[in-house]
Amino acid sequence: MEDKFTTKAYLEMELLRFTTAGSVDDGKSTLIGRLLYDSKSIFEDQLEAVKRASIRKGNEVINLALLTDGLRAEREQGITIDVAYRYFATPKRKFIIADTPGHVQYTRNMVTGASTANAALILIDARNGVTEQTYRHSYIASLLQIPHLIICVNKMDLMHYNEEVYEKIKHDFGAFAAKLDVKDIQFVPISALNGDNVVEKLDNMPWYEGGTLRYILENIYVASDHNHIDPRFPVQYVIRPISKKYHDYRGYAGRVAGGVFHKGEKVMVLPSGFITTLEAIDFDESEINEAFPPMSVTFRLSDDLDISRGDMIVRENNVPETGQDIEVMMCWMSDKPLVPGMKYYLRHTTAEVRAMIKEIVYKVNVNTLEHVPDGKELRMNEIGLVRLRTTKPLYYDSYRRNRTTGSIILIEEGTFNTVGVGMIV
Amino acid sequence: MTDLQKKYNLNHLRELESESIFVMREVAAQFERPALLFSGGKDSIVMVHLAKKAFWPAKIPFPLMHIDTGHNFIETMIFRDELVKKLGAELIVGSVQESIDNGRVVEETGFDASRNLLQTVTLLDTLTRYKIDAALGGGRRDEEKARAKERFFSHRDEFGQWDPKNQRPELWNIFNSKKRVGEHFRVFPLSNWTEMDIWQYIYLDNIDIPNLYFTHERQVFKRDGAWLADAPFMKKRESEKVVTMRIRCRTIGDISCTGLTVSEASTLEDIIQEIAAVRVTERGGRADDLRSESAMEDRKKEGYF
């Protein structure tokens, strides 16, 4: 029996969330299928179902895309409509893949998949080299502050495993990458179809000295992806048992969004600005000494203060920015364009306020990264710098500094749809 | 990795736990009258365990809701009642038998008859009757291909329907709970857990589960390659002979659609080893999913769990 599923080993596993982006026909489904299959995460009944469906559709080979296309409409039309989440584990790590479709509403879907990812896999077809879509996908990964980019140069088999082809793509991408804001970029030449450098090295590319894709995924350094510097605790829910045993208990439940909180230290509560002591950190039935992201815990404070959902607990000498006039990089997700003067509900951590759009400063051409001055409107799948004003002050950090306290969503009045998502600059 | 960095790093089970607790607290904060859908299966038991942690030392601030097909394993019912008593929780039961008696649904007939589909009507009626605006479910994205597309906060229109082609974008951990009158949400805190995660977590936290999950002797018969439990309401064909086997449940649902596994696993460690070696999905034995390629999606669109 494989020892990897003993609980001790299982407990030492880390979680890596990654997103995959590619254009139509660049072999993304094949690659995901291979990662899942080679890690034994595809089961016989799933494979049988895909085989049956492939034959019925008249496909000559097993169409692994059918494995990821979960909706009837997707299978019928042969397209992927929405982000699908996939899971697999190796003895070292547990993986969550946000598989985002390459064509329909690409920006909306990719931004969604990227929002929770530590790493992005970007596929390049070795025959086509770096294309506009490569730029677009990389830009979105950079905008969403995904710390690690893995550029998979796929279909190397169709280019005779030629090193120069790979080097040229690396070089072309490097020129563009200088404009991006990404901490870590790695390249790997692969053939998803044959399996070269996906899980095993095989013999076709002796010139490649790096690790396989799976090795890279298992070894990316994720421990520093959270902000451990600026203590931020958005209050989510107030726990008051009103029972005999816990008559005076008042706990502030939430998930640590940044920094490390220590029992007994001085903390500041926003918006009131009161300074108090973090008396205890409760988790389940026990007390703990420290809390760090992404832990869900309950804080008890030594003073009785008026604190409710949407407030934030921070440290006196490290407070977030405060303000009602906010600039965000906005990605628009609705058929109805964003225009200055419109009002929306705005959600930021656990707070909700209303917001009015003041100005569209510029739009970004996601293929060239050029700023296009166009103040009229931001349409579906467009990205631009937007100024807005909120009814009440927000306590925020720049998205670059903290992905939790630096992100917002806009909700349309009337339909209550989520229409826009923003990263505070 | 230095010790300091290791110190401030959660392992993946604790990270999933923290995510689920966050989602449950969001539900308690954002909705007026949520309920936790409880089936007596391992996923809903883990949900209750997480809810207990999320709100300790207060009681779970929402009722448990059981949609009772009337075709349950008796062990499930005993387990349910004991758990509710221990938690001091409120229990709401929606009865499929009552829906049949009231003429809201018509019982399926024939050998493959099941009350699985009928549950949807009972579920929606019960949600309406108790004015539930958020139903917490134990569904996981790894279970089934339609579920892989599900949001944490999944919007349902006034008919209880899911529109999978037009879901609200869900980013970071900001959950939009806004809805119009008559609409509701299904919320899935276990979205990112896998079957193996659930078992490891049950082992890690020493969570009580019904004995049905461990090997035991039972009167069973074979249908379409799957072992089903015999019961008075299970209509059998001439060729379907009842035999006694040592089996266990890998999932627990209604008796009519729960495929049983021939197994000697008597401890959680045994189960974990068995799951690690097994080559079919846990829903592979579920007759309700095998009805068609889109069986789950179709049921979910109508308002199923």
Q: DSSP characters for B76-95? A: HHHHHHHHHHHHT--EEEEE
Q: Is residue A224 part of a domain?
A: no
Token pair for B180? 């119009």
**Would you say residue A3 has pLDDT above 70?**
no
Q: Which is more confidently placed, B258 or A80?
A: B258
B261-272 pLDDT per residue, tens: 899 999 999 998
* A85 to B191: CB separation less than 8 angstroms, yes or no: yes
Q: Is residue A61 part of a domain?
A: yes
Residues A308 and A326 reside in one and the same domain: no
What pairing do the DSSP bridges indicate for beta strands A351-364 and A383-396?
A: antiparallel
**Would you say residue B145 has pLDDT above 60?**
yes
Of A94, A241, A260, the CB nearest to B57: A241
**Would you say residue B5 has pLDDT above 70?**
no
Residues A266 and A406 reside in one and the same domain: no
* B176 to A418: CB separation less than 8 angstroms, yes or no: yes
ipTM reported for the complex, 2 dp: 0.91
Distance (Å) of CA A355 to CA A111, A342, A378, B293: 22, 8, 16, 45
Residues A18 and A153 reside in one and the same domain: yes
Q: Which is more confidently placed, A26 or B20?
A: B20
Residues A120 and A136 reside in one and the same domain: yes
A95-149 pLDDT per residue, tens: 999 988 766 567 888 898 999 999 999 999 999 999 888 888 899 999 999 999 9
Give the per-residue pLDDT at A2.
Answer: 42
Residues A212 and A239 reside in one and the same domain: no
Domain end among A189, A219, A249:
A219
Element (H, E) at B299: helix B295-302
Which segment of A147-156, A272-281, A393-402, B119-128 scores lowest on mean pLDDT?
A: B119-128
| Mean pLDDT, range A194-202, rounded to an integer | 90
pLDDT band for A348, please (50, 70, 90 cuts).
very high
Give CA–CA dist A404/A95, Å, rounded: 21
Q: Is residue A245 part of a domain?
A: yes
The whole model's pTM is what?
Answer: 0.92
Give CA–CA dist A364/A353, Å, rounded: 27
Distance (Å) of CA B200 to CA A174, A297, B22, B268: 43, 22, 20, 9
Give CA–CA dist B295/A185, Å, rounded: 42
Give CA–CA dist A360/A388, Å, rounded: 9
Peptide bond between residue A294 and the one before it cis (omega within 30 degrees of 0): yes
Which residue range(s) make up the domain with A283?
Answer: 232-314
What residues 258-297 of chain A have any CB closer than 8 A to a CB of chain B? 260, 282-285, 292, 294-296
Q: Does A403 touch chain B (CB under 8 A)?
A: yes
Strands (E), A42-115: 84-89, 93-99
Residues A199 and A292 reside in one and the same domain: no
Residue type, position B5, single letter: Q
Residues A184 and A45 reside in one and the same domain: yes
**Would you say residue A39 has pLDDT above 50?**
yes
pLDDT band for B1, please (50, 70, 90 cuts).
very low
Distance (Å) of CA A62 to CA A36, A41, A88: 15, 17, 20
Token pair for B153? 């906060």
CATH of B3-197+294-302, one of 3.40.50.620, 2.60.120.10, 3.40.50.150, 3.30.70.270: 3.40.50.620
Give the per-residue pLDDT at A62.
Answer: 66
CATH of the domain at A294: 2.40.30.10
CATH of the domain at A114: 3.40.50.300
What's the total number of domains in chain A? Answer: 3
Residues of chain B neighbouring A285 (CB-CB closer than 8 A): 56-57
Q: Is residue A227 part of a domain?
A: no
* B15 to A53: CB separation less than 8 angstroms, yes or no: no
Residues A9 and A86 reside in one and the same domain: yes
Domain end among A172, A192, A219:
A219
Nearest Cα neighbor of B165 from B292, B300, B289, B290 is: B300
Residues of chain B with CATH 3.40.50.620: 3-197+294-302
Contacts of B52 (CB under 8 A, 6+ apart): A284, B60, B87
Residues A199 and A236 reside in one and the same domain: no
Long-range contacts of B125-130 (CB under 8 A, 24+ apart): B125/B94, B125/B99, B126/B65, B126/B67, B126/B92, B126/B94, B127/B35, B127/B160, B127/B184, B130/B33, B130/B35, B130/B63, B130/B65, B130/B92
Which segment of A279-288, A350-359, B29-38, B103-112 scores lowest on mean pLDDT?
A: B103-112
Give CA–CA dist A270/A267, Å, rounded: 10
Residues A340 and A413 reside in one and the same domain: yes
Most confident of A87-91, B80-84, B103-107: B80-84
Domain end among A194, A219, A244:
A219
**Would you say residue A67 has pLDDT above 70?**
no
Q: Is residue A390 part of a domain?
A: yes
Residues A212 and A122 reside in one and the same domain: yes
**Mean pLDDT value across chain B:** 88
Residues A33 and A49 reside in one and the same domain: yes
Where does residue B201 rank: exposed (0-12), middle (13-18), buried (19+ CB within 10 A)?
A: buried
* A345 to B178: CB separation less than 8 angstroms, yes or no: yes
Residues of chain A neighbouring B147 (CB-CB closer than 8 A): 70
**Would you say residue A354 has pLDDT above 50?**
yes
Q: Is residue A100 part of a domain?
A: yes
B225-263 pLDDT per residue, tens: 888 888 888 888 888 899 999 999 988 888 887 888 899
For chain A, the farthest-separated pair of C-alpha atoms sits apart, in whole angstroms, at 76
**Would you say residue A1 has pLDDT above 50?**
no
Residue type, position B242, single letter: V
**Would you say residue B9 has pLDDT above 80?**
yes
Q: Which is more confidently placed, B160 or B135?
A: B135
Give CA–CA dist B35/B39, Å, rounded: 13
